[in-house]
Amino acid sequence: MKENYIFKPRARLLLQLGDQLIRNESIALLELAKNSYDADATIVNIKMEHIDKPDKGIIIIEDDGIGMDMDILRNVWLEPGSDYKEKLYLEGRIKSKYGRVPLGEKGIGRFAAHKLGNEIELISRKENSNEIYLRIDWTSFKDAKYLEEVPISINKRTKSKDFTDNKTGTKIIIRKLKTSWNHLMVREIFRSLNSLCSPCSPFDAPDSFGVNFDTDKTEWLKGLLLWKEVKDYALFKAECEIEEDEIKKFRYRFTPWSSMKKLQCREISEDNMEVKKLKKMVDKDNQSINLSRFQIGRVKFEAFIFDRGSKILSLGVQDKKGLKDYLDANGGIRVYRDGVRVYDYGEPDNDWLNLGIRRINIPTKRISNNLIIGAVHLQRDGSKDLIEKTNREGFIENEAYETLQKAILYTLHKIEIFRNLDKEKIRTFYGPTPSSEPVISSINDLKNIVDKKVKDGNLKDEITGYLKRIEDDYRYINETLLKSAGAGLNLSVVIHEIEKIIAELKKVVEKENLSARVVSLVKHLSQLVEGYSTLIRGTGKKTEDLKKLIDQAIFNVEFRLKAHKIHVIKDYLQSDGDFTVKCARNLIIGSILNIIDNSIWWLDYGDIKQQKIFISISNELPEFTTIIIVDNGPGFAMPTEEITKPFVSAKPDGMGLGLHITKEIMEAHGGELMFPEWGEFLIPEEFRNGSIVALAFRKKEAQK
């Protein structure tokens, strides 16, 4: 026998939905503001009074949108989960006079009101309709058994009380507040509402949609900085547009304050040669990042980047603490769709681009969330593959979303390249002297934390193994530097960087659950320290035949060259003469390898069909024996005077040490790392546009 039944939702289901779908009060208010946006409002006024006393408190949200009539209220508003807005959008029947696409397409906004209070009055008026009035006491849902047992009465007012003079709109009054608000919550709401609209100019301005916030607790908002006051403190600004697999538009501006008299403004655009070379977006494995694989559309990325150094801030910011607090609370990269915020990207708890972790790798060169206020602008029509989660906590993490993440990170890294150069200038003229951190004791602390926190034996062994290596190498570097007064090497920048990384790492390890991610960070650090300890270890010099050292370097990367189908032209084998110099074998091989490693990357990046590296040796340069390494790739993507500085790299995820170490090695040998022009040496025509690097050694006679 077959019997049919139906679901009978309990009345309290509505209360549960409200509680669980809307994470906090801040999101609840934002949802209500989004409803106003959908209703074509140009302004939404939010008023909060006596909110520290739930019984007395009142929250009023009032907009000047198109309002609702009896029909919409009954058939849409009272039907939770209604797909009314979504259908309108999908069918292209958007009636909005501004052509806005609904933000609240999930039909869950009304629960937001319940998140805030137990009693709601809703007054709305649509053009040429009567004002309607609805009151809901949510507590009655607790008492009744089934939803159908709770009657909702709607009154049609023959004479408008709230929307007079043919005005339209919706007003929601919330009483019997569910929480007692404090000043931190209000400041948070204020901040959130202010960030609802993009701080920058999106593609299509949302037709002057604005949010007014008013409260009787004015003292609670005292001292809060506003965006318009803050944005002028940003020293670096960028606007980029990305589409398909390229950065289509790029504008970077360095705007030092007037007090920084030694510095000048500069602007870089997509016409800049270096920017042109870096337009194609790739990930760290040189794989293309292509937005056109998905419906993501053209993406605009804007960034305001700040400097938080106390000494720097003293040059132009009066309320240093205020600015820092503002950046702490508002910093991050937000996402806006058609000019309205997609939560909760850019909120303090949502580091969706992993900027924090990325920074730990190279603290001074990477921008963290509390240094940037950025906005990613999407166009709703073109970005259908980015699907928002029902609970308003960002996009579903699909491939399209991951591609967007990679594209933004790539673009940010290109901005960083220019920002780092300017930052360095600021530091040169106005920066503090780096102070030393007690590294070894920090490592010991780290070891203890790992010992206590990590239960997994293998993971513990792995992390401890890396820490041990870091400690050994670091101790070696420090001791050697002390003993030999640097052995002619300028490593102070690097040592400082290592110290900072360890300090930051310690913070992360203390804060986070230890995971494979921590392992990768420790590993990274260990590689960095290893790179430098090498520099000091291999200093024993002997007379070596440079040709044999080139042979060895090519042999070392033979498998890699084969995998990348790179043909090496060994021109040096044809050269006759004495090519022996006094040098540290491993360091020179390492230097050649660093250059070949760069070539391998850039040949791939440049999509060169027949990839070639040309290596020759020459005694032409007076007093020098020179190894010349050239590729037929796109050439250097940054000024050659910059690329030898530590931690400067145009490669995504590049540590930026290879050429710096090479330069140090050459100088320690009394030689030079050079970047000659094509024509200075005999190099075939096909290598004209490639990168040309020369390792110039002083001849033995000159060495003596």
Partner 1 sequence: MNLPENGRVVVIDDDYKEVESLLKVLSKNKVPVMYFTGILEELPEQPFSDVRIIFLDIELGTEGQPEKTKVSTTAGVIQKIIGNRSNPYLIIAWTKYDKLLNGIRKLLKDNPPLLMLNLEKSKCKDEKGKYEIGKIEEKLKEELKKAGIFHLFIIWENFVHNSAGKIVNDFSSFYSLDDNWNKNMCGVFHKLAKAYAGEQLPAGKVDELIKNALLAFNGTFLDTLENEIRNYIDIDKTLLPDDKGNIANDILAKVNSRLLLIFDIPDMPVPGNIYFNIKAPEAKIDELFNEKNIDTYQQKDDLNKKVKAIFLEVSPSCDYTQNKWKLHRVLPGVIWPVDYQKKINQADYIYTSRLFKIDNEIYKFVFDLRYLTSLSFDDLKDKRPEFRIRHELLIDIQSKIAGHINRPGVISLE
Dist CA 237 CA 100 (whole Å): 29
- Cα(440)–Cα(477) distance, rounded to whole angstroms? 12
What 3-state class would DSSP assign to 126?
coil
- Distance (Å, whole) CA 268 – CA 638: 13
Q: Do 352 and 394 meet the contact criterion of CB atoms below 8 Å apart?
A: yes
The residue (of 325 and 530) whose beta carbon lies closer to partner 1 is 530
* Nearest-approach distance from CB 661 to partner 1, in angstroms: 7
**Least distance from partner 1 to the Cβ atom of residue 491, Å:** 13
Q: Which tokens go with 678?
A: 């094509």
- For the residues of 445-494, what is the DSSP string, one character each? HHHHHHHHH---HHHHHHHHHHHHHHHHHHHHHHHHHHHHGGGG---HHH
Of 1 and 516, the one with the shorter C-beta distance to partner 1 is 516
Distance of CA 478 to the CA centre of its chain: 34
Nearer to partner 1 (CB atom), residue 356 or residue 465: 465
Cis peptide before 307 (omega within 30 of 0): no
Query: Dihedrals φ, ψ of 254, to 5°?
Result: -110, 120
Nearer to partner 1, 86 or 597 (CB): 597
The answer to whether 371 and 327 are in contact (CB under 8 A) is yes
Give me the least distance between CB of 617 and partner 1, in Å please.
Answer: 17
The full 3-state SS of 548-610, as one line of letters, equals HHHHHHHHHCHHHHHHCCCEEEEHHHHCCCCCEEEECHHHHHHHHHHHHHHHHHHHHHCCCCC
Phi/psi of residue 43, nearest 5 degrees: -145, 145
CB 324 within 8 A of CB 182: no
By CB under 8 A, name the binding residues for partner 1: 465, 468-469, 527, 530-535, 537-538, 548, 551-552, 555-560, 585-586, 589-590, 593-594, 597, 657, 661
Minimum CB separation of residue 591 from partner 1 in Å reads: 10
In angstroms, give the least distance from the CB of 384 to partner 1: 39
Considering the complex, what minimum distance in angstroms separates the CB of residue 535 from partner 1? 7
Residue whose CB is less far from partner 1, 11 or 657: 657
- Amino acid identity for residue 83 in this structure: D
Least separation in angstroms between residue 561's CB and partner 1 is 8
User: In terms of CB distance, is 335 or 477 closer to partner 1?
Assistant: 477
- 360: Cα separation from own chain's centroid: 13
Cβ proximity to partner 1, 591 vs 626, nearer residue: 591
CB 669 to partner 1: min, Å: 16
Cα separation, 151 vs 477, whole angstroms: 78
Least distance to partner 1 from the beta carbon of 282, Å?
16
* CB nearer to partner 1: pick between 445 and 472: 472
Residue 493 CA to residue 499 CA, distance in Å, equals: 10
Where do the DSSP E strands lie in 113-265?
117-125, 131-137, 154-157, 169-177, 210-215, 236-243, 246-254
Residue 12 or 523 with smaller CB distance to partner 1: 523
| Least distance (Å) between residue 545 CB and partner 1 | 10
Whose Cβ is closer to partner 1: residue 311's or residue 548's? 548
